[in-house]
Amino acid sequence: MQIRLFRKTRWQLATWYAVVMALILSLCGFVVYEVIIDAYVVSINRELESVAGTLHDVIEPNLKQPGITELVFQQVLPNICLAESSCPTQKILSHSQSTHNEHGIFSPVYKDKQYYIRFVDGSGRLIAVAGFQANELPPTVETQVWQTVKDLQGNRYSQKSLLLHTQDNQDWGYIQVGRNLNDLDNRLAALKLILAVGLPITVLLVGGSSWWLAGLAMRPIDSSYKQMQQFTSDASHELRTPLAAINATVETLFDMDYLPEEARDVLASIQRQNHRLAELVQDMLLLSRLEQQTLATQQVHCCLNILINDLIEEFSALAAAASLQLTSLVLCQELLYVMGDEDQLLRVLSNLIANAIQYTPAGGYVTVILKRSNGNAVIEVQDTGIGIASHEQKRIFDRFYRVNSDRSRRTGGSGLGLAIAQAIVQAHGGSIQVQSQIGKGSTFIVHLPLTDEASDRVVLRDLDLG
């Protein structure tokens, strides 16, 4: 049980560490991605703004009529093509194709990059284009200052638009300078691929490291717990001899002929307390051995129908003395067998039935139900007792924990009964849980795996199981 507990805790620590690191790395990756995008966009926009501003300042003073090109267009842009003209097919103007002009605008701009320059009137009608074939961009272009447009092939362009005025301050139209974003898209696609592949691999590496670190962190705890278990086992084992000696001494003193009555009362009290201490030591030793998986057990096929029938007969007198009705209910038409230690299983069921009788007021009911569910035997011990608060149910199986803080002899016991019951059930590959409401009673539910032996499936005929 404790091995599973430590492994579960280790998994939880490793998972939390990996999740937190994954979130941090994802956030960092997103920030890096956004920073890179922003840096590229700022660089591209700065270039476009520089080119568009220079052309605007050179061309605008020479404009006379709206929508009419002037000689300055050919001087500044020797390769310009008017929309109504038949221009030779040309894609993007490169440095090797451009003609250096007196203004020297394009030599630093077109080198190893892809640009176009368009002139449109106020309605968006294309007037002239340089560097990019006129019919490859949408014929109607909005005149926003900054745009991202696509050509017929789906290539994206970042575009800067500036309004041009004539010499008499009339609106001439717009100059639009655009740059191909293919290199940006390719870089971002590569970055996305790196993040998409690298992040999961990094998380896996972090997960493995966190598993190792969690084990390293829990090693002292595991070592301390094992030492505590060993001490409990050793102490319980060593205490049995002096307790047995005390009990033998008390019994010898009881055999004396002239023992005063007061002395007999004192010896009787010593004997009772010695017996309680011996039971506590025995319970602690059993629980320690169950947790360390060092308890020698005899694994046999145990018929749960017969075990429950025997326990009902055994506790009938105790239930009758408490004015309770103790019954059993078998909800299956076959004998249910489990592989396990019969004495240990009897101890589990005895503890649950005894607790149900103890905490159920007179006139109440205690019912033991046996049924089959999904390859498991299910045993339910129901009572109409005082019930258990919901916040108490989470700790009901902790060692030495009592729902009632009262440690009187009436409610007595060591507080190890349910802890031992849980350890036994888990050692048999099963589980135990509780359902309860205050004032309405409790139901303890035990699941045990059934054996797969075909010979164990015997139809009930003459066996009376209450």
Q: How many CB atoms within 10 Å of residue 244?
A: 12
User: Each residue of 377-392: b (16+ CB within 10 Å) or e?
Assistant: bbbbbbbbbbbbeeeb
Is 207's pLDDT higher than 70? yes
* Nearest-angstrom CA–CA distance, 324 and 152: 89
Amino acid occupying residue 265:
D
Mean pLDDT value of segment 53-77: 85
- pLDDT score for 466: 38
Is 48's pLDDT higher than 70? yes
Q: Are residues 312 and 328 in contact, defined by beta-carbon separation less than 8 angstroms?
A: yes
Residues in the chain: 466
- pLDDT score for 137: 65
Is 412's pLDDT higher than 70? no
- pLDDT score for 352: 92
Confidence of residue 245 (pLDDT cuts 50, 70, 90): confident
Residue 375 CB burial class (10 angstroms; 0-12, 13-18, ≥19): exposed
Mean pLDDT value of segment 56-82: 83
| Lowest mean pLDDT segment, chosen from 192-196, 392-396, 432-436, 456-460 | 456-460
Give DSSP secondary structure letters for 142-167.
Answer: ---SEEEEE-TT--EEEEEEEEEE-T
In CATH terms, the superfamily for domain 1-84+96-216 is PAS domain (3.30.450.20)
Mean pLDDT value of segment 206-215: 84
Mean pLDDT value of segment 127-146: 64
* Nearest-angstrom CA–CA distance, 43 and 432: 67
Calculate the average pLDDT of the chain. 78
- pLDDT score for 149: 80
Is 25's pLDDT higher than 70? yes
In CATH terms, the superfamily for domain 298-447 is Histidine kinase-like ATPase, C-terminal domain (3.30.565.10)
- Report the phi/psi class of residue 178: left, alpha or beta, with left for phi > 0 and alpha for psi in -120 to 50: beta
Confidence of residue 391 (pLDDT cuts 50, 70, 90): confident
29: tokens are 């990756």
Q: How many CB atoms within 10 Å of residue 21?
A: 17
Higher pLDDT, 288 or 39: 39
| Lowest mean pLDDT segment, chosen from 61-65, 440-444, 459-463 | 459-463
Q: Are residues 322 and 365 in contact, defined by beta-carbon separation less than 8 angstroms?
A: no
What residue ranges of the chain are covered by domains with CATH 3.30.565.10? Answer: 298-447
Mean pLDDT value of segment 404-432: 72
Is 75's pLDDT higher than 50? yes
- Give the pTM: 0.50
Mean pLDDT value of segment 435-452: 88
Confidence of residue 418 (pLDDT cuts 50, 70, 90): confident
* Nearest-angstrom CA–CA distance, 436 and 385: 10
Is 465's pLDDT higher than 50? no
- pLDDT score for 309: 92
- pLDDT score for 86: 64
Is 302's pLDDT higher than 70? yes
Q: Are residues 362 and 323 in contact, defined by beta-carbon separation less than 8 angstroms?
A: yes
In the chain, % of residues over pLDDT 70: 77
Is 312's pLDDT higher than 80? yes
Confidence of residue 311 (pLDDT cuts 50, 70, 90): very high
- pLDDT score for 100: 41
Max avg pLDDT among 27-41, 126-140, 221-235: 27-41
Q: Are residues 356 and 381 in contact, defined by beta-carbon separation less than 8 angstroms?
A: yes
Q: Helix (H, G, I), strand (E, B), or coil: what is residue 444? A: strand
Is 368's pLDDT higher than 90? yes
Q: Are residues 411 and 404 in contact, defined by beta-carbon separation less than 8 angstroms?
A: yes
What residue ranges of the chain are covered by domains with CATH 3.30.450.20? Answer: 1-84+96-216
Confidence of residue 148 (pLDDT cuts 50, 70, 90): confident
